[in-house]
Amino acid sequence: MKALAFPAMAPPLDGPDALSGVLEAARLGDLTAFETLMRRHERLVLVTALRLLGKMEDAQDASQEVFLRLYRNLGKVQASQNIAGWLYRVTVNVCHDVHRRRPDETPMDETAEPVSRGADPQQAVTRQEQEKVLELSLRFLSHKERAALVLRDLEGLSTEEVARILGTSQATVRSQIFKARIKVKDFVERYFRRRV
């Protein structure tokens, strides 16, 4: 598995006034302003979509749809609103739609063999292999569990932010994350038991 190259993040927009100005310009049809918004957030959307869907092709398709929705809904996005939160919410919804249309049917028996079989198991587990195992484990979670785990543990959002993005309570998010972590742990243990 080769390393994934993600687009570099655009420089931050200096404060809410700059974001407000860029949003207003984009609303008025300034494509350069909209491109600035896209560059500023494309990595966030693509990485989140990839983590939710597990396939770069699907993640790219989802990212395009997210930014198409942003363009169509510029009038509804408020500068005072957290645009990243709006994008996370739309990304989760778009990924859910993609997943429903093209469910991942990779059974565990058909997953790739571990990359290395070195004598020392601690050294044999490379970062690449760890990422592959995590990616595989996410495929076995329900959509809601995957979204909660990706946003909380991989994207680093607070439980409160995840609850707001997913439109649910913090208690529900904590429950989904708890269940997801157990499933991921079980998957990882089974995966490495197969190596022996």
Residue 126, domain CATH? 1.10.10.10
pLDDT of residue 132: 83
The tens digit of pLDDT for each residue in 76-102 reads 877 656 788 889 999 999 998 887 887
Query: Does 149 lie in the same domain as 182?
Result: yes
Contact 107, 44 (CB under 8 A): no
Q: Is 82 helix (H, G, I), strand (E, B) or coil?
A: coil
Query: Does 88 lie in the same domain as 18?
Result: yes
Q: Is residue 6 part of a domain?
A: no
Taking the CB of residue 99, how many other CB atoms lie within 10 A of it? 18
pLDDT of residue 59: 92
Whether this prediction's pTM lies above 0.75 is answered by no
pLDDT of residue 135: 84
Taking the CB of residue 19, how many other CB atoms lie within 10 A of it? 19
Q: Is residue 2 part of a domain?
A: no
Instruction: Print the domain residue range for 147.
Output: 106-196
pLDDT of residue 49: 93
pLDDT of residue 160: 93
Residues of the chain with pLDDT under 70: 1-18, 79-81, 103-125, 195-196
